[in-house]
Amino acid sequence: MNKVEGVIFDWAGTTVDFGCFAPVNVFIDIFKNAGIEVTMEEAREPMGMLKIDHIRAMLFMPRISTKWEEKYKRAFNEQDVVNLYAEFETALMSSLSEYTDPIPEVVETVQILRNQGLKIGSTTGYTQTMMDVVVPNALKKGYGPDFYITPDGTNSLGRPYPYMIYRNMEALELSASWKVVKVGDTTSDIKEAVNAGVWSVGVVIGSSEMGLSLEEFNALSKEEQEKVISKTEKSFLQNGADFTIKSMSELPPLIETIHHLISDGKRPNAK
């Protein structure tokens, strides 16, 4: 059958935690505690990566590494990464359960896809310990995929490596990469999908890439909303997304479109 067999979702910013705020606030706090003020944009840029990789990526940013050298009179080292991560994990774990509400339209959309016979997988930048909090809390609120895996299950090779997607394909018995759709809210999600050879979809409203809370987004004028939507879509497409959707309710019709593309012999990431 030349049809989509499964959809693999990201977690924070895609299916739960509108705007992906749980980790962002903690990244800002741990750097502040180390005497370095980082911006919201800097904290969000590596979003979607395994969290220790995310911290390392932030330390490699020229402005942050310069500030680090000015403060500590030396370049950062791997022990600094480990120390910051230990602090990050402790702080995140204490607040994580508060950030497990499904994003609007997610629960309904997943049900529609399941009714069409699609399997629902997931990947994340969170560790297994973090997901031990997120998964049961999200399930209580109506969202649970058929399978999930963290970078702990792929020898810490998280995004942009494709291995978590491959593990989903294996567990859910999906027969070919071009029959799989990956939906995420960061450029790391897009790169993960491109590297795995699956269809890549960036979801815009509620995404970490957009970086707004539901209240902030709703407070914008129609014109301002269109502007941030357009900017986010552009970022996803520049990083290799096949498609973007504004919100999750646009996914089922998009899956229909992808069914037709597959039948016509089209494949993902064919630029």
Catalytic residues: 10, 51
With b meaning 16 or more CB within 10 Å and e meaning fewer, what string describes 220-258? eeeeebeebbeebbebbbebbbbbbbebbebbbebbeeb
- Number of Cβ within 10 Å of residue 100's Cβ equals 22
10 marked among binding-site residues: yes
Q: What span, in angstroms and rounded, lies between the C-alpha atoms of 271 and 260?
A: 18
* Residue whose token pair is 């359960």: 97
Does residue 146 have a known ligand-binding role?
no
Nearest-angstrom CA–CA distance, 2 and 262: 6
Bridge-based pairing of strands 199-203 and 6-9 is unpaired
**132 a known binding residue?**
no
Beta strand 199-203 with 243-245 is parallel
Binding residues: 10, 12, 185
Binding residues for Mg(2+): 10, 12, 185
